[in-house]
Amino acid sequence: MVRVGIDRIAFYTSNQFVALKDVADHNQIDPEKFSAGIWQENMAVTTADEDAVTLAANAAETIFADGSIERHVDQLLFATESGVDQSKAGGIYVRRLLGLNNNCRVVELKQACYSATAGLQMALAQIRANPSLKILLIASDIARYGLGTPGEATQGCGAVAMLLTANPSILAIDEEAGLHSDDVMDFWRPNYSDTAMVDGKYSTKMYLTTLKACIKDYRQRVDSLAFDHLCYHLPFSRMAEKAHKTFCRETGTKFSADEFAEQINAGLVYNRTIGNSYTASLYIGLTSLLDNQHIAEGARIGLFSFGSGCMGELMGATVQPNYRQALHATKHSAMLQDRQQLNYSEYAQAFNFNYAKDGDEQVLPLQTKGTYRLAKIANHQRHYEPTQS
Ligand code: HMG
């Protein structure tokens, strides 16, 4: 059987962030609640000239920038729950910005934080049938709950781009997976709201209930649940600890504290300083694990994807020989080092930035350090362009 999976992976986040200590001080909350209670240090804050489209284009640009990968794909799948249009797919803008070929299928996918995984499985099924296909999957999101809300400390933004192929350089993904879906109202965002609505404690409970159901389904399809590392969807970093405790309990595996940390901690490095990036979060976690820990070739990674509402999937994957050569770890680290820290009032101002909704022309200030930006909104249309033309 042909091996299929991730040939390249790169992520992008905004060049500005706020420290959660400053948010805690402003809200008169003990900062330990965020550092020790949910394991978050900072959260990424979007600039006025970026949105889910620019984050996505900037993530994917890293894959193509050095010229080693041809700018030609058979499909571009764009997963998001913070799309910029109810009709037009964000990927349509991204394809043009990246200079990819026109004879390419482009579509946007939605199911809360889960949809990138649906895209991954749909793409891999097609590649198994036709191993010459190259599919670009991008997950991109901005998590917004509102200032002063319980969800505030779990905001963030980011995008991840993955080139999916046969005989992948980084990670081969198994065909069988454990699935579970249910109709629940733990987190949602009506069309008229630009912030999410959430029943926070219930959403955490649904996440863990769904994980258990996925483990059960996985067991019925696959013999072994033995993984060397696990990456979980990360609404906040400590969710991985809760999930991994559940995983160990359900599978009857016992680990020392060091082994437990070894299995999940490297996957949390980026999330701790970016925050939730919804659809991208699991795969930025995977990038974090690959970039920050030397993993043995052939090691098994378990991936748990969860999207509120809800849908979950547990997958198994195998690390490929020489995978480190295909990573962009140095670029990721430089991008995070190069960010500007906002104080609380700068963060609140950025959060409350008003975008034109009346069709008037609004030229946006140049703030992003990314390759692509939202330059203006005019006649209800968004205009994207390279930052340096
Ligand atoms: P909250 O009410 O702000 O916080 O809600 P809390 O009181 O539950 O405290 C959080 C933890 O900090 C607790 O630990 C406290 O004990 C601890 P736990 O009980 O969990 O072990 N704590 C402290 N620790 C040390 N020192 C202190 C201190 N004070 C408290 N001084 C919540 C937290 C995450 C629910 C909230 O921020 C929220 O609603 N966030 C948004 C929803 C969310 O992230 N849900 C996660 C699961 S759903 C999901 O993953 C899907 C999602 O990504 C969306 C999608 O699918 O599209 C969200």
pLDDT per residue rounded down to tens, the chain (389 residues): 899 999 999 999 999 999 999 999 999 999 999 999 999 999 999 999 999 999 999 999 999 999 999 999 999 999 999 999 999 999 999 999 999 999 999 999 999 999 999 999 999 999 999 999 999 999 999 999 999 999 999 999 999 999 999 999 999 999 999 999 999 999 999 999 999 999 999 999 999 999 999 999 999 999 889 999 999 999 999 999 999 999 999 999 888 999 999 999 999 999 999 999 999 999 999 999 999 999 999 999 999 999 999 999 999 999 999 999 999 999 999 999 999 999 999 999 999 999 999 999 999 999 999 999 999 999 999 999 999 86
- Residue 312 Cα, ligand 1 centroid: separation in angstroms? 19
Pocket test for ligand 1, best of 187, 276, 277 (most atoms within 8 A of CB): 187
Q: Are the C-beta atoms of 77 and 121 separated by less than 8 Å? A: no
pLDDT in tens, 143-171: 999 999 999 999 999 999 999 999 999 99
CA of 198 to the centre of ligand 1 (A): 11
Q: Are 361 and 376 in contact (CB under 8 A)?
A: yes
pLDDT at 1: 85
Task: Name the residue with the closest Cα to ligand 1, atom 9.
Answer: 37
pLDDT at 389: 65
C-beta 307 within 6 A of ligand 1: yes
**56: amino acid identity, one letter:** A
Tell me the C-alpha distance between 366 and 345, whole Å: 20
> Residue 22 has which token pair?
């400053």
Whole-angstrom Cα distance, residue 223 to residue 225?
Answer: 7
Does the CB atom of residue 306 touch ligand 1 within 6 A? Answer: yes
The H or E element containing residue 91 is helix 90-98
Phi-psi region of 167 (alpha: psi -120 to 50; beta: other; left: phi over 0): left
Q: State which amino acid sits at residue 113.
A: C
Q: What pLDDT sits at residue 80?
A: 98
Q: Which residues of 197-227 are buried (b: 16+ CB within 10 A; e: fewer)?
A: ebeeeebbebbbbbbebbbebbeeebeebeb
The set of catalytic residues is 81, 113, 233
pLDDT of residue 354: 96
Among candidate residues 47, 68, 56, the one with its CA nearest the CA of residue 96:
56
Give CA–CA dist 90/95, Å, rounded: 9
| CA–CA dist 375, 383 (Å, integer) | 6
Q: What radius of gyration do the chain's Cα atoms show?
A: 20
Please choose, from the candidates 175, 179, 298, 283, the residue with its C-alpha nearest in 3D space to the C-alpha of residue 231. 283
pLDDT digits (tens, 9 = 90+) for 269-297: 999 999 999 999 999 999 999 999 999 99
What is the residue with the minimal CA distance to atom 53 of ligand 1? Answer: 235
Where helices occur in 157-274 by DSSP H, the ranges are: 200-221, 238-251, 257-264, 269-274
- Return the DSSP state at 150: T
Residue nearest to atom 21 of ligand 1 (CA): 37
DSSP character for 153? G
φ/ψ of residue 212, rounded to 5: -60, -45
DSSP 37-103: IS---EEE---TT--HHHHHHHHHHHHHTTSSS-S--SEEEEE-SS-S-SSS-HHHHHHHHHT--SS
What is the distance between the terminal CA atoms of the chain, rounded to a whole angstrom?
45
Q: How far apart are CA 199 and CA 201, in angstroms?
A: 6
Instruction: Report the C-alpha gap between 172 and 174 in whole angstroms.
Output: 7
Q: For tokens 């036709």, name the residue.
A: 130
C-alpha distances in Å from residue 259, one per residue of 229, 230, 298, 333, 354: 10, 12, 18, 25, 47
CA 366 to chain centre: 25
